[in-house]
Structure 1
């Protein structure tokens, strides 16, 4: 745990070159689905299924899914211990390296400004954007109920992301600045890839992870028998 905090502190002070969204970029998403039936924060060694999907425009051009084990239980601000290695491996299994990666985690919205989305991007050397349904520490009012509307998310006076209304009549999602992306770029990538409320690459990654988990359960390798 102390090692991870030290890494997060070092990454907080890192200032890599910024990345800007351009149409035609290869956008991937990754998602980790823990085994069902576990209460509380979980623990190291529990089964996890990870999915990743890469899109160019509206077309999915690469998919990957794999079983793994959680590196730790959940602890506030230390999600990389639980899912970092799992997500790193499934993204590496994609047939092509993405230009930008969407992660179900925060980036600068973190006590040390190094949420899992930012940390994973640094490890993979890929620009990243965090996409979550809630913020971790950041605060900001929701945008108007109109697709494309955004509203800033602030943490201690720093702009760390935007609420993004990807569909009218639905809750906005939080687009987090992470590795080599700022808040404006994060919002732009989320809007450009969101056919539904959740951006397509992340939505497909989530489906793949849950599908793999369901297949394992059907085969008799559930939470208690997974090896």
Structure 2
């Protein structure tokens, strides 16, 4: 599967992805869990534009330990538009994961999955392109809705879209805002939560995604525009 270049092409791909629900991958012990993140120049306002320089990093961890990291520099494919994040970030994220010597068993993405008007958000799309199970983690839902969970750690509450549970609010740290955990490629909402719980340490953000974010920002600082 290639990355679309226009909104119309991406809309068609997302509609096709909505009808593809491959079997969930088995959650086993000692899985390698990856995280991937892209950042753009500091101080940017608005939706950005096609051609914005971007720095993407991918990290894998196994047994709670850092295993490897890869970083790439490239350009955004489009301005940000809700529901069409793949146009802006998809190729950059995929390039960072492809730069890893060994792919993770499952990948955590800073994007929604089935929480998308066409049920084919970037977390689903990236997993389909890379053939890697994925989980989406965001600060807020895109179009799904649900009330926050209780303040106890690991409390959760469903995010629903037209009657379908597409993810959960998950409290990863007491006293902190919960995260949205999204079903992705080969993961349902409940499996996605279990993966995030396994990958989260003392910080609010799952560790592979947190480290990928840090690596991308450091790469940006080391390679100024």
TM-score, structure 2 length as denominator? 0.95
* The one of 208, 211, 216 aligned to 2:215: 208
TM-superposition CA deviations, 1:34-80 (whole Å, max 9, x none): 11232211111110000110011210101011111101111121100
* The one of 169, 172, 177 aligned to 2:178: 172
> Which 4+ stretches in 1 moved above 4 angstroms?
none
TM-aligned CA deviation for residue 216 of structure 1: 1.7
> What is the aligned partner in structure 2 of residue 154 from structure 1?
160
Distance in 2 (CA, whole Å) between partners of 1:123 and 1:215 is 29
Mapped contact 1:20–1:185 kept (Cα < 8 A): no
TM-superposition CA deviations, 1:149-208 (whole Å, max 9, x none): 111111110000111111111111111001110000011111111111000000000000
**Consecutive unaligned residues in structure 2, runs of 5 or more:** 1-6
Distance in 2 (CA, whole Å) between partners of 1:165 and 1:53 is 23
Query: Are 1:17 and 2:17 counterparts?
Result: no
> What is the aligned partner in structure 1 of residue 4 from structure 2?
none
**Consecutive unaligned residues in structure 1, runs of 5 or more:** 223-227
> What is the aligned partner in structure 2 of residue 53 from structure 1?
59
Distance in 2 (CA, whole Å) between partners of 1:80 and 1:145 is 33
Q: How does 1:97-108 map to 2 (within 5 A)?
A: 97-108=103-114
Q: How does 1:162-201 map to 2 (within 5 A)?
A: 162-195=168-201, 196-201=203-208
Distance in 2 (CA, whole Å) between partners of 1:191 and 1:46 is 34
TM-aligned CA deviation for residue 21 of structure 1: 2.1
TM-score, structure 1 length as denominator? 0.94
Query: Are 1:89 and 2:95 counterparts?
Result: yes
Mapped contact 1:164–1:191 kept (Cα < 8 A): no
TM-aligned CA deviation for residue 19 of structure 1: 1.5
Distance in 2 (CA, whole Å) between partners of 1:143 and 1:187 is 13
When the two structures are aligned, how many residues end up with a matched partner? 218
* The one of 37, 44, 50 aligned to 1:31: 37
Distance in 2 (CA, whole Å) between partners of 1:202 and 1:43 is 25
Distance in 1 (CA, whole Å) between partners of 2:32 and 2:60 is 7
TM-aligned CA deviation for residue 88 of structure 1: 0.3
TM-superposition CA deviations, 1:121-166 (whole Å, max 9, x none): 0000110000001110111111111111111111110000111111
